[in-house]
């Protein structure tokens, strides 16, 4: 959806402000459509009343994402792939982060297969207030045996409910896997110039999404996409070819950009599909696992930045997974809205009257850094998160979002009684807000001691040794 003006979407709405959608006005609903917090179908008059039929059709066309949205999996673990509207995040935002799919193979010992599936499906990392997880499992056919592949897929499904990618170029192998897993709506990898007719029949029969593979041949890829679309198969993902190094890697990236530009800037709908990348190919260039994991991580970061919609990987070691998780999180965080935590009083550990009370802002990165630095040093403390619209300490002090009066009001709103709840009635300001200390003590009527903590929360433990409990 290239439309960024709520006014232009408002023209396609009933304009009655009936409130049935949950918004007070149709204009607010139009803004929600642009932000993707609202769906067209939530405007019930538009859907139910025949007089709005043309407006409904027009609105659905307008709000459809430029890159087709493809669903993989079912239920709570279902994942949305594609659905983006812009080439670069700063132009608006990206909506659907690319899932990471880690591989298993049908030649693995059953015990090791189950162990790896459990490790993939339970991997998680808490980062800036959210749990980051792996989203998919790619089941690779190494043996070429349909029965072994089906058995492997079945065992994976018995172990986890994660969405699957079924990986083989042999239609017989794919059919065996689909007969086991079709109800969970796996992604089929892949149809190519040699097997596309057989794979198309399978995809149509089992009603699942499919990857079209024509490495380093965009003309063939476009032709295949057009053919599948004409057959009524539109849940497509494109494989442009992922070279692990050299000039071919450059060509991979150029082709990815060409396809995204054609879809997003030139309006070529016949090629406007999400793109899959295979950083796992780094493992085919070296026998050194550390080197392979390193280059796989580099490839992942590169293709995430360029807009790949799914990535197939192998190394599940923290040094390989975490950098890419963090990068993906940052890129797929809406730049228009700071990441925030709920303002108010929070606790770390089991607090007592002897525990300190720290002040910070509700910018998530700041808050969770402070919380982590306190908790990791086994300090039981209170943290007052001041509502600064998600702005950090230094910027909010300079911009006026963090003020002495706001700090005092926050403690009042929390109903915090310093005299009864603290043996040493006091607060610890972040070092970058040191200039507030005198005014704060005046606003507290001299009943609360204001201490100035370090500028870096990583130094809180050392600061506590020298300054807590406070001297009378």
Distance of CA 446 to the CA centre of its chain: 47
Spatial distance between the Cα atoms of 29 and 34, rounded to a whole number of angstroms? 9
**For position 253, what pLDDT does the model report?**
96
Spatial distance between the Cα atoms of 189 and 203, rounded to a whole number of angstroms? 11
Q: Residue with structure tokens 């040794």?
A: 465
**For position 2, what pLDDT does the model report?**
66
What burial class does residue 73 get, using C-beta atoms within 10 Å of its C-beta: 0-12 exposed, 13-18 middle, 19+ buried? buried
Query: What are 112-151's pLDDT values in tens digits?
Result: 999 999 999 999 998 888 889 999 999 999 999 999 999 9
Q: Would you give the end-to-end CA distance of the chain in angstroms? A: 62
Q: Between helices 218-230 and 196-206, what is the axis angle to 10°?
A: 40
What burial class does residue 345 get, using C-beta atoms within 10 Å of its C-beta: 0-12 exposed, 13-18 middle, 19+ buried? middle
Q: What tokens were used for 161?
A: 């409910």
Average pLDDT of span 365-370: 94
Q: Which range has the worst mean pLDDT, 58-62, 205-209, 361-365, 411-415?
A: 58-62
pLDDT class of 3 with cuts at 50, 70, 90: confident
Bin 15: left if φ > 0, else alpha if -120 < ψ < 50, else beta: left
Q: What tokens were used for 399?
A: 């911009």
**What domains can you pick out in the chain, each with its CATH number?**
6-63 (1.10.15.40), 69-331 (3.20.20.20), 344-467 (3.40.50.11600)
Residue 471 gets which letter from DSSP?
Answer: P
Asked if residue 237 lies in contact with residue 276, where contact means CB atoms within 8 angstroms, the answer is yes
Neighbours of 100 (CB within 10 A): 25
Torsions phi, psi for 345 (to 5 deg): -90, 125
What count of Cα atoms within 13 Å lies in the side-chain half-sphere of residue 26? 16
> What proportion of the chain, given as a percentage, has pLDDT over 90?
87
Find the Cα–Cα–Cα–Cα dihedral 350, 352, 355, 361, rounded to 10°: 60
Instruction: State the average pLDDT for the chain.
Output: 94
Q: Residue with structure tokens 């190094």?
A: 245
**For position 336, what pLDDT does the model report?**
78
**For position 5, what pLDDT does the model report?**
80
Spatial distance between the Cα atoms of 61 and 51, rounded to a whole number of angstroms? 18
Is residue 322 scored above 90 in pLDDT?
A: yes
Spatial distance between the Cα atoms of 373 and 461, rounded to a whole number of angstroms? 8
pLDDT class of 37 with cuts at 50, 70, 90: confident
Q: Which range has the worst mean pLDDT, 25-34, 106-115, 378-387, 398-407?
A: 25-34
213 DSSP β-pair partners: 239
Distance of CA 37 to the CA centre of its chain: 16
Average pLDDT of span 180-197: 97
Asked if residue 100 lies in contact with residue 84, where contact means CB atoms within 8 angstroms, the answer is no
Is residue 35 scored above 90 in pLDDT?
A: no
Is residue 1 scored above 70 in pLDDT?
A: no
Q: What tokens were used for 154?
A: 């079945």
CB-based contacts of 119-127 (< 8 A; 24+ apart in sequence): 119/316, 120/160, 120/162, 120/316, 121/159, 121/160, 121/162, 123/316, 123/321, 125/321, 125/322, 125/325, 127/325, 127/326, 127/329
- Report the largest interatomic distance among the alpha carbons of the chain, rounded to a whole angstrom: 83
């Amino acid at each position: 959806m290239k439309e960024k003006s709520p006014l232009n979407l408002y023209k396609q709405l009933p304009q009655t402000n009936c409130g049935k959608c949950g918004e007070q006005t149709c204009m607010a609903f139009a803004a929600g459509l642009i932000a993707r917090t609202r769906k067209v179908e939530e405007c019930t008059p538009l859907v139910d009343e025949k007089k709005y039929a043309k407006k409904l059709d027009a609105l659905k066309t307008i709000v459809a994402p430029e890159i087709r949205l493809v669903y993989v999996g079912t239920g709570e673990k279902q994942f949305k792939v594609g659905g983006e509207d812009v080439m670069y995040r700063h132009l608006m935002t990206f909506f659907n982060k690319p899932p990471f799919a880690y591989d298993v193979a049908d030649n693995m010992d059953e015990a090791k297969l189950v162990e790896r599936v459990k490790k993939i499906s339970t991997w998680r990392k808490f980062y800036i207030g959210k749990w980051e997880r792996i989203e998919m499992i790619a089941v690779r056919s190494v043996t070429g045996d349909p029965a072994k592949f089906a058995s492997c897929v079945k065992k994976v499904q018995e172990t986890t409910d994660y969405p699957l990618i079924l990986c083989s170029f042999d239609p017989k192998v794919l059919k065996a896997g689909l007969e086991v897993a079709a109800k969970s709506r796996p992604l089929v990898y892949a149809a190519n110039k040699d097997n596309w007719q057989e794979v198309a029949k399978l995809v149509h029969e089992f009603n699942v999404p499919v990857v079209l593979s024509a490495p380093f041949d965009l003309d063939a890829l476009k032709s295949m996409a057009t053919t599948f679309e004409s057959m009524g198969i539109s849940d497509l993902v494109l494989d442009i070819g992922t070279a692990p190094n050299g000039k071919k890697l450059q060509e991979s990236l150029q082709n990815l950009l060409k396809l995204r530009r054609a879809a997003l800037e030139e309006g070529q709908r016949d090629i406007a599909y999400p793109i899959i990348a295979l950083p796992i190919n780094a493992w085919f260039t070296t026998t050194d696992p550390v080197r392979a994991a390193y280059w796989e991580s580099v490839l992942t970061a590169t293709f995430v930045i360029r807009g790949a919609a799914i990535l197939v990987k192998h190394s599940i070691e923290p040094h390989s997974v975490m950098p890419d998780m963090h990068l993906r999180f940052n890129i797929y965080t809406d730049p228009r809205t700071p990441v925030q935590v709920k303002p108010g009083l929070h606790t770390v550990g089991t607090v007592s009257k002897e525990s300190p009370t720290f002040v910070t802002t509700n910018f998530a990165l700041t808050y969770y850094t402070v919380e982590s630095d306190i908790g990791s040093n086994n300090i039981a403390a209170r943290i007052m998160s001041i509502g600064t619209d998600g702005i950090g300490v230094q910027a909010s002090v300079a911009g006026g979002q963090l003020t002495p009066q706001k700090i005092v009001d926050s403690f009042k709103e929390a109903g915090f009684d310093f005299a009864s709840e603290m043996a040493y009635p006091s607060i610890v300001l972040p070092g970058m807000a040191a200039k507030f200390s005198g005014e704060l003590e005046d606003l507290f009527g001299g009943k609360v001691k204001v201490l100035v903590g370090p500028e870096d929360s990583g130094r809180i433990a050392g600061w506590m040794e020298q300054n807590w409990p406070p001297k009378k």
